[in-house]
Structures are given as C-alpha cells and as structure tokens.
Amino acid sequence: MTTAQLLTGHVLTFTDDPFIVPWPDAVRIEENSAVLVKDGHIVATGTAATAQGTHAKRHDYPGHLICPGFVDAHAHYPQTAIIASWGKRLIDWLNTYTFPEEMRFGDPDYAQSTADTYLDLLLDHGTTSVASFCTIHSTSVDALFTAAADRNMAVVAGKTCMDRNAPDGLRDTAQSAYDDSKALLERWHCTGRARYAITPRFSPTSTEDQLAALGALWAEHPDALMQTHLSEQVDEIAWVRDLCPQARDYLDTYEAHGLLGTRGLYGHAIHLEPREIHRLREVGAGLVHCPTSNTFIGSGLFDLMGLTSQGLRAGLATDTGGGSSFSMLRSMAAAYEIAQLRGVAVHAAQLLWLATAGSARVLHHSDEIGQIASGLAADLCVLNLASTSAIAQRHARAEDIWDAVFPTIMMGDDRAIADVWVAGQKR
C-alpha cells in the first residue's frame, strides 16, 4: 500500500464529448479543487477528495491546471533524431530522412537508447501515453515496450510492416510480417500497461498479400488495435490509385483485406471521399488528427469540425517526426489554427478533450487513461498557466478560467509542464 497523495489546484474533468454536446455541458474546470490518488489510481476528486485526503501527502498547485496526462494517438518514435528535418513532400521525406534512420533500429542498443530518450521527451512535455509505429525490426518494438514498462506508461505500439517500395534492409514479407507481428502481439499485448497495434505502414509499402496476412492476424486477435495511414497527401492518393487500380478508393485498399474496423486507427485522413467517410463512421473507426505534421510536410487541412459533426471519432497527435514538435500543446495550437483556416474557432475545452479523453477513446483505452475520474490510472499533467513572461502578462488579463487556459494552449511548451504523474508517481 502506498501513501495517498492529494493534489490541489484547478481540476479539468469531462462528462461528455464536447464535439457532440455543447462544450459547457461536457467539460468543466473546477477551480481550487483537488484530486486524491492512491495505489496508482484516482480515488476521488473535488470536495470528496479533500474530505478523504486528510492524512494524504499534499501537493499544492495554486493557480495551476491539473489535467489528464496527454495522450498522443499517432507517432513514430524511431524518427526522434530526425524531427524538424528540412522540408520536402511526404515520399521524398520518407526516402531522404525516415528510411535511412529506421535502418538503424536493427541494433538493439540503438533502439533502446532512442526509446528511452523518446519517452523521457514525452514526459517532459506532459504526455503520459502514446501510440507509436516502430520499424520492421522486432527489436524496435521490444525496446519501446521495455522503456514504457520501466516508466509504467500506457503505450500502444507495433512492428511497422513493409514489403515493397522501401529500401533493402527495411522490407519484410507477407509471411514474416504475420509471424513477427503475431509473436510480438502474443508477447506484449495486455502485458502490464502495453497494448499492441498491428501496423502496416500504408498501402504503398505493403502488397496485397501482406495486407491480407495482417488482416487475417487482426481477425485472429480482434482485441488488438490496428494503425496505419490514410489519405495524407494528394500525390500519395494518386500513387495508391496507380498501385491498386481495382480499389474503389484509398480506404478500400485496407477494407478489402480485413483492415477496416472499430479498433482501427487511421492517421491523417485529410482528403477523404464520401464513401470513405460513410464507412469509417459506420464501423466506428478512429481518425487521428496530426496538425503540425500536416502543415510541416504540406499535406492539407484536416476537417475536424466537419468530420466530428458527422459522427466520426477523432484523436490528436504529434506525428513525430513528420510533426515538428513533441508537444501536445503545440498540436492543440496547430489544430486550432487549421480549424480557423476552415472558418471554425475550436474552443479550448474541445482541444483539451482531443489531447486527452478523445485520443484515449480512439485508442479504446478510456477505461484506464484520458480522464480524471475515480478508478482510472493517476496519469496527470499539471500545467503552469503563467509559465513564461509572455503567457503571464496575458494570463493576468484573463476574464475567466477558460480565458486563463487558452494562452497556454497557444503559446505553451515544456516550460508550462509543472509536474507529471504516471500511475500515481511523480516523475
């Protein structure tokens, strides 16, 4: 039994999805409140936490926002070292930077060092959970899950599978993709806080045989997740059309092989056809918005409000290292900016939902992470709402609590992260 911990400050909680119901009815910040933590879980919030936490160790965060740890729903941890590499479009960027770096992950020591560095960077930025692509090397998957277990973090990951249009040393086969993924899934899925995602990179780098093999594996393990990319750039879509002329659209290249489902995660999804929107909504699949990546690589403007208004579920991500920041605060700011270019002002409450409960929901992990609620894991991020002089002077003029929070979303970085708690332990 561990000592109970009482955290005091402003506390962010959710009662519903602010993209479905009006945000004031779905999201609340209870000022000068509290969270009681014991044995790695949240015991109570608000006045109940204060009443029950009389003998708990106190951690006072006056004027700070206690929120769920951020949940990054789409990333590539092997790209840590090449983040913010200069320009180019997606395919050129993969060939110039990504593939040469991913070749190095056959070395277990290099993979482990990068995984440790990456997760520490996430924690520095308030992110306590992530869904990451690895490389074709099983060592890269073992490294990330080992690093996550060392930190007691809830992490989703999978071996990236590619058997065409990739360099020598980064291609597997349909059979080895199935065999390796199955072995990794059986080793890691639901071991501690680990969750496995079957991971075809995207249709251009997987033959139909490989996609079919991975679809068969998912059918055998339907409780696993499946993550891939969808309709990121217009020239990518044209490439898919040339490679798969029989497909009705990009999504059909997955659907035809059993890779469309409720537990599917489809990164980017910017240039969707009406049929694709209908099918994604029909099966309850998860879309992942990667705004800093979409602007950095020039992919396009994700239709956040349009898609969610049609009933699709969305999460938020950094897409490291196509995304140019490890910070979910920066991803929230970029999501706001992209929505503005589409003529909609997304509220701070909706942005915070996306970065926490929304991402947890698309990862099918809402039973453990993404909210501050009794029984959930005590994964928490404490935001200093006046972390820099620029933010502090704006914060001083705030008219209400939401007006006080918004400048940190728009201008905050790792300096805004006052503390991070993972499973009830302060990092």
Which residue, 362, 384, 401, sits at the end of a domain? 362
pLDDT, tens digit, 9 for 90 and up, residues 270-316: 999 999 999 999 999 999 999 999 998 899 999 999 999 999 999 99
pLDDT of residue 211: 98
CB 376 within 8 A of CB 368: yes
Do 104 and 250 lie in one domain? The reply is: yes
Nearest residue to 252 (alpha-carbon basis) of 263, 237, 262, 235: 237
pLDDT, tens digit, 9 for 90 and up, residues 215-262: 999 999 999 999 999 999 999 999 999 999 999 999 999 999 999 999
pLDDT of residue 323: 84
Do 64 and 174 lie in one domain? The reply is: no
pLDDT score of 42 more than 90? yes
Do 9 and 26 lie in one domain? The reply is: yes
Domain carrying residue 55: 5-68+370-426
pLDDT of residue 107: 96
Do 292 and 307 lie in one domain? The reply is: yes
Which residue, 330, 362, 394, sits at the end of a domain? 362
Calculate the average pLDDT of the chain.
96
> CB 418: neighbour CB atoms within 10 A?
17
CATH number at residue 49: 2.30.40.10
Residues 6+ apart with CB under 8 A from 120: none
Which of 41-45, 153-157, 318-322, 347-351 has the lowest average pLDDT?
A: 318-322
How does DSSP assign 78-144, residue by residue? Answer: GGGGGTT-----HHHHIIIIIHHHHGGGGSHHHHHHHHHHHHHHHHHTTEEEEEEE--S-HHHHHHH
pLDDT score of 88 more than 80? no
> Cα–Cα distance between 206 and 209 in angstroms, integer?
8
What is the band of 85 on the pLDDT scale with cuts at 50, 70, 90?
confident
Nearest residue to 161 (alpha-carbon basis) of 144, 184, 145, 143: 184
As a whole-number percent, the residues of the chain with pLDDT over 90 amount to: 93
Q: Can you give the pTM of this predicted structure?
A: 0.97
pLDDT, tens digit, 9 for 90 and up, residues 412-422: 999 999 999 99
